[in-house]
Chains A and B, each alone.
Chain A
Amino acid sequence: MSGSKPDILWSPHHVDRYVICDSELSLYRIESVGTTLLAINSDTPYMKCVAWYPKPEPECLLAVGQANGRVVLTSLGQSHNSKCKDLMGKEFVPKHARQCNTLAWNPVESNWLAAGLDKHRADFSVLIWDISSKFTLETSVTAEKIRLSAGDTDSNLVVTKPLYELGQNDACLSLCWLPRDQKLLLAGMHRNLAIFDLRNTSQKMFVNTKAIQGVTVDPHFHDRVASFFEGQVAIWDLRKFEKPVLTLTEQPKPLTKVAWCPTRTGLLATLTRDSNVIRLYDMQHTPTPIGDETEPTIIERSVQPCENYLASFAWHPSSQNRMVVVTPNRSMVDFTVFERISFAWSSTTSLMWACGRHLYECTEEAGVSSTEKDISTKMRDRALSRYGHDTEQVWKNHLLAGGDDSQLKSLWYTLHYILYMYVLQKPLGNKHPIVYSGIKNIVKSGSGSTENARCWNGSELKADVIRYHNEERCLALQLCGWIKKGPEIHVEPFLQCLEQEGEWERAAAIALFNLDIRRSIEILHKGATSEKGDLNLSVVAMALSGYTDEKNSLWREMCSTLRLQLKNPYLSVMFAFLTSERGSYDAVLYEGRVAVRDRVAFACMFLSDSQLPRYIDKLTIEMKDAGNLEGILLTGLTKDGVDLMESYVDRTGDVQTASFCMLKGSTGEVVKDPRVQCWIENYRNLLDAWRFWHKRAEFDIHRSKLDPSSKPLAQVFVSCNFCGKSISYSCSAMPHQGRGFSQYGVTGSPTKSKVTSCPGCRKPLPRCALCLMNMGTPISSCPGTAKSDEKVDLSKDKKLAEFNNWFTWCHNCRHGGHAGHMLSWFRDHTECPVSACNCKCMQLDTTGSLTPSDTAQ
């Protein structure tokens, strides 16, 4: 310290003050901007170490250890305070002069000041001075011998008799008082660490080590001590003092200071010579060592407060993670060590992060409409509304999903039509129903189609179009939803349906594609006059009625150009259809805004056998690339469909829709696809993570209905205490395989409840700890044993849940009983019902404290 290297000391009681000491002592006050120099004290030359008096009064009393071993009390920035006036300038002089290496005030007995000195022959190196002691003349013989050096004229201020002398024939390099007891002093001696107990000074506890410099106690964990030697820091546990509990990675340069953060547990800062970084070791997550060889994990970081080399640093005593560093040329930097941030996503779209003592949460705002909700929120809402579970009217699932997603709507309609067709075709005995394989495969399987030129319905005008027809195209139209059944192309029911939904333009277009221009005009007119009708539709109807098959007419010319200005795609494709050349309908087929099912239906009507598969293939690839669920119409629930769904899931993350959709396919092969299994498992995990355990169970039931192969076998068995065989052993012969619970009284039916002994060895099953009845006895049959209030409770629940009859037990103490009894017991108790067992069974069960989030229904 003397010489060039300044050190910093924070005032223990004034959080804004600190002292910089090098050749002199300077008191600074830290302010919102910068620091102010309050006072300078240069009375004490040859400073080796400084320690600040730990009590608030007298404030700013400092002990200075000098190169010749003397300890001087001094102060800074004080008005002549009477309290400490008689202490100022007091000197404590060791018998033999040698360097004073370290000073430590006793935090409790604040009159005690321990000084660590260099070695001098057989003299003591740890002296504990009592600063309140008056100078006492020793026996006359020694008084004669005292030849104090010049300047010590005021000998009233010189104390030569220490309170305690310790560490004979040794050197002391560092000291600290142990908070465990005010009379314990930890000292870094020459080649050993020693704990002196002032209650019995003849004994010391010590351990040989080189790491004897800078001993310091963790303020948050009083048995943890750090010390260092050259570049290495050793962490000690005083309860296990034989060797360091850990040593930190060695630094290339010798350490100069090591300090525990006073505001945060387990954070140790270290500084080496000629370095501009402070290394931080975070032992935050260090558990108190249980096993011998558990090496705790340490997170190592470094902070660089400034460009220059650092001379010293000091933690702020109360402001969190704040420290001041000083460079050799005395420039100071006040900064805060930033906390590591750890963050976690919750399963319900909120994000949490912790920084220091603060916990931040970021949640999706409820009322946000401008941005789309996150898919996980959507899935959660949909799970709550039983999305996917409507197996009767499959198309309704899109309404359960919110009804605002056109792709989902298309998907569920497709699935609805597929299942509808499947039911229709089933009696025909088709083993591999082609309806599942998608229009792409259906049209390919088709034989040649018949062509027929058709006339406009209800109009004398000759239509210049050829319509193709065969059985497969008809099936495709059915899947598209245009026609219901049978070979006849009869779209009228569908048109009426669209009219009801107010989809005037689409209805008009479909009517037109069915060559019924009069119906189309009629629909448009209806649309224009309906409640929320668009008057423009009448204008379109007027334009439509002017249709002429004249090739070079003005109507054709104007319509083919002006149609592009129509906003509605259906209106636009109507005119495109009317003005197109025979056989080339690209303007209709590639109008992306028109629903895929309508375009496909259109193609099935008007494209030739060579054009149709090409168009469908092209569209399929497009849909697959985009992950557009409308494409399921084309791919069906095939491998292709899984590919498409994969790109949809990649795009949206919606494993829920994917799971439900693929389960509907249930053609074995598709469901066994690892991707599908992955989606299903992920969806189940998601439900678990949301604590939608009932939903999960519902989903599993739904799944096992649609995919019988997924029915899980029992994997957990209860074994008999005596023979070790599963007590559901005998059920292998029973028809209800995998429902072992029924064997020991789940159903509560009187016949089965008799199974109160092991089917293997006939020894009795364990008893319920509360009603003392054997396992397998339903609780309803054990009156009297339970407490009266419980009885009321249980009888009320009796009808609600057979679960009450189940047998449950703690995995820790192995005590248990009827689930109902246990539940009511632990409603009022925390400990095991078995007397003399103090196992806190319920608290050990981590899910015991969780409640499902989906119990609302």
Chain B
Amino acid sequence: MELHILEHSLKVASIAKEGIQLFTHGLIKLAFLRSRTGCKFFSLTETPEDYTIIVDEEGFRELPESEFLSVAEATWLALNVVSGGGSNSGSQPIGVTKIAKSVIAPLADHNISVFMLSTYQTDFILVRERDLPLVMHTLAAEFTLLRVINGETVAANSLAVTNGFVKPKLVQRPIIHPLSSPSNMFCVTSLDPETLPSVATLLMDVMFYSGGMKESAVAEDSGHIRFFSFSLIEGYISLVMDVQTQQRFPNNVLFTSASGELWKMVRIGGQPLGFDECGIVAQISEPLAAADIPAYYISTFKFDHALVPEENIQSVISALQTSSDQRK
């Protein structure tokens, strides 16, 4: 397996809901006018609490400074796992499940904090730039490490000193954060970038307006959650939205898989999780991997979100409950 270390230097930021109008200009540019910004990595996720932005340095310049904008202090690098060949056939576990054992658990063992972003196309594992030597050291055994420099993929030399890295203690990772599962169902989809202009107004409406405070309050009462994610990474668009939102799009614009799966969400965290705690993704992904349940995982500024197949939600809940029970 290959692990690609992408060249984007990423910033993770949060925009408070009440300040969003200050940023719409920049965000629209980033989302719809790719050629104007030079930005190659952009993700916007709306949660009931805030808007989480993941953007590379080129794109970050589009965002004005404001009291409503809080930025995580570190620079992040995106890792991407590319499995070598088509040797394994049949249904593949999707998302974090696949990489739980190979990437997420080892990183958690080494106390490396990760920030996950699953898209329609792939999973990105964001790590702090300063952690990179340790990351490479940790994963060198399992992966062929390749680094993307100016678009060229070259072998990354893990020249980094191996001394001084603490040998990890292999411990059980019980789930320590409270979990919740909203009632609405989600789909993970994409669309042809060339058709983006035709749905731009609809997307803007979904991103910035439809989540009015009042409406969302009502929604949350009934177990619904306001959650929408848009990402435009290296020319590929990925969308995560609930079924209600999806129905607002015209036929044939969104890519729907032949099987048309729908997903339920598991929200992780009662208090904002912060950026320093390690092992949260691992806590969730390991039990799911053990049960061979595919999952998407989207971290935001305050909370983490896992998407699991709707038909599996019961087994997910039981698996996670077992895991959290171990704590006691």
Contacts and interface: CB of A to CB of B under 8 A. Distances in A.
Contact of A96 (B95, B236, B255): B255
Given A68-B255, A97-B190, A122 B92 contact: yes
Contacts of A7: none
Given A124-B86, A166-B86, A202-B87, A3 B255 contact: no
Which among B88, B120, B189 has the highest number of chain A CB atoms within 10 Å?
B120
Contacts of A97: 189-190, 254-258
Contact of A210 (B122, B152, B261): B152
Nearest to B193: A99
Contact of A168 (B86, B94, B192): B86
A424 to B, nearest CB: 92
Contacts of B83: 122, 168-169
A120 B258 contact: no
A202 B84 CA distance: 11
A122 B86 CA distance: 9
Contacts of A151: 251
Size class of B's contact patch? 35 or more
B194 A67 contact: yes
Interface in A177-221: 191, 201-204, 208, 210
A186 to B, nearest CB: 16
B258 A202 contact: no
Contact of A98 (B87, B152, B255): B255
Nearest to A168: B86
A94 B256 CA distance: 10
Mostly, the A contact residues are: loop
Interface in B235-286: 236, 251-252, 254-261
B102 interface: no
Interface in B140-162: 151-153
Contacts of B98: 122
B4 to A, nearest CB: 9
Given A97-B257, A149-B252, A119 B86 contact: no
A145 B260 contact: yes
A169 B3 CA distance: 12
Given A123-B92, A151-B251, A202 B86 contact: yes
Nearest to B2: A169
Interface residues of A, number: 44
A45 B252 contact: yes
Mostly, the B contact residues are: loop
A147 B252 contact: no
A2 B194 CA distance: 8
Contacts of A202: 85-87
Contacts of A46: 192, 195, 252
A120 B86 contact: no
A22 to B, nearest CB: 13
Contacts of A121: 92, 94-95, 120-123
Contacts of A166: 86
Interface string A34-49: 0000000000011010
Interface in A147-178: 147-151, 160, 165-170
Given A123-B92, A208-B153, A170 B259 contact: no
Contacts of A99: 192
A191 B152 CA distance: 8
B89 interface: yes
B236 A160 contact: no
Given A46-B195, A46-B252, A68-B255, A122 B260 contact: no
Nearest to A67: B192
A45 B256 CA distance: 16
B82 interface: yes
B149 to A, nearest CB: 13
Which among A46, A151, A168 has the highest number of chain B CB atoms within 10 Å?
A168
A324 B93 CA distance: 48
Interface of A: 2-3, 45-46, 48, 67-69, 93-99, 118-124, 142, 145-151, 160, 165-170, 191, 201-204, 208, 210
16 contacts: A46-B192, A95-B257, A95-B258, A96-B120, A96-B255, A98-B121, A118-B236, A120-B120, A121-B122, A149-B256, A150-B251, A160-B258, A165-B86, A168-B86, A202-B87, A210-B151
Please give me the 3 A-B residue pairs with the lowest Cβ-Cβ distance, nearest first. A97-B255, A147-B260, A67-B192
Given A95-B257, A149-B251, A202-B85, 20 more contacts: A3-B194, A46-B252, A48-B192, A93-B258, A95-B258, A96-B255, A97-B190, A97-B254, A98-B255, A120-B121, A121-B92, A121-B94, A122-B83, A122-B94, A122-B98, A148-B258, A149-B260, A168-B86, A168-B92, A204-B86
